[in-house]
Amino acid sequence: MEEGLRRAAELLSSSRQAVALTGAGVSTESGIPDFRSPGGLWSRYDPSEFATLSSFLRDPVRFYQLASEFLSVFTAEPNEGHRALAELEEMGLLKAVITQNVDGLHQAAGSKRVVELHGNLRECRCLSCGTVLPIEVLAEKLVQRGEIPPRCGCGGLLKPNVILFGESLPAEALREAFELVSRCDLLLVAGSSLMVSPANFLPPMAVEAGAELLIVNEEPTPMDAFASVVLRGKTGKVLPELVRRVKEIR
Ligand code: APR
């Protein structure tokens, strides 16, 4: 780890266009379960039954019954890993965070440029009239009034603005992510299994463009072999240590 941290800090401090790509692993230390770690959400729920657009439309009641298990996301606080990435942006060393997460914790930690590939939990939308409402409206219907599934005033079904399997990703976010990665000279992947596309196209794209690839993850990923440095550990510990070493070098 020592040598890896030294090398990673060197690469990061000499980069000019570094970008981060994060996954659910950066939020587990904030109390939000990830998906594919042992005990992660997909070890307890079948995503094909719970997290696809068709399953949502087929049985919105079941979706919302299970979704009430994840309400912790609304009270979660950013952790040291989120704050370390915000600090790298503040230092002018990180251009943006591209995230697969919908918890808004990067923004809460102070990151300014955050590209949300899988939507967000700040808003919901009516599938009939298209009205966009703050998520609080949906939460109030669900939690206070026990309205399952929560509906719009027009009677249409309300859906949180998170991207479910089978839904297309927000075009603008995807365009911005591809543009950032095609121009980056370093991609820092943190807390992602890199199992889901198109997010997992980004690391190969970065390597293809000649960028250095740094991976911070508790478990191996399919891109480890292509990384300049792999740091095996918790993002809440490794990322702040990385920032500390970058500060020593600068
Ligand atoms: N520090 C470092 N790594 C961690 C930590 C941590 N504290 N906690 C978990 N991890 C690692 C796990 O080992 C795992 O490899 O983070 C990775 C999380 O992987 P996933 O659970 O697959 O999450 P993610 O890569 O974000 O999934 C992508 O899949 O289900 C969809 O839409 C969902 O956005 C999600 C997408």
**15-62 pLDDT per residue, tens:** 999 999 999 999 999 999 999 999 898 998 898 888 899 999 999 998
In this structure, are 86 and 142 located in the same domain?
A: no
- Looking at the predicted structure, is the pLDDT value of residue 90 above 90? yes
Nearest atom of ligand 1 to the alpha carbon of 165: 32
Higher per-residue confidence, 241 vs 41: 241
CA-derived radius of gyration, the chain: 19
Average pLDDT over residues 100-107: 97
* Candidate list 118, 125, 159, 234, residue with the active-site label: 118
Structure tokens at 168: 């297309």
In this structure, are 138 and 154 located in the same domain?
A: yes
3-state percent helix, strand, coil for the chain, nearest multiple of 5: 45, 20, 35
Query: Mean pLDDT over all residues of the chain?
Result: 95
Q: Which helix (H) or strand (E) holds 79?
A: none
Q: Which helix (H) or strand (E) holds 128?
A: none
Cβ atoms 83, 20 nearer than 8 A: no
Contacts of 173 (CB under 8 A, 6+ apart): 115, 116, 117
Contacts of 78 (CB under 8 A, 6+ apart): 30, 105, 106, 108, 109
Distance of alpha carbon 193 from alpha carbon 221, whole angstroms: 5
Q: Where does residue 246 fall: left (phi above 0), alpha (psi -120 to 50 degrees), or beta otherwise?
A: alpha
CATH of the domain at 39: 3.30.1600.10
Concatenated DSSP letters of 217-242: ESS--TTGGG-SEEEES-HHHHHHHH
Confidence of residue 206 (pLDDT cuts 50, 70, 90): very high
Structure tokens at 217: 């993850």
| Residues across the chain | 250
Whether 118 is catalytic is yes
In this structure, are 148 and 135 located in the same domain?
A: yes
pLDDT tens digits, 146-177: 999 999 999 999 999 999 999 999 999 999 99
Most informative mutation of 27, 50, 101, 196 for ligand 1 (most atoms within 8 A of CB): 196
What is the per-residue pLDDT for 67? 82
Ligand 1 site, residue 99, Cβ cutoff 6 A = no
Rounded to the nearest angstrom, the distance between the alpha carbon of 132 and the centre of ligand 1 is 28
Our count of domains for the chain comes to 2
In this structure, are 27 and 58 located in the same domain?
A: no
Ligand 1 site, residue 30, Cβ cutoff 6 A = no
Domain carrying residue 215: 1-32+78-118+168-250
In this structure, are 85 and 200 located in the same domain?
A: yes
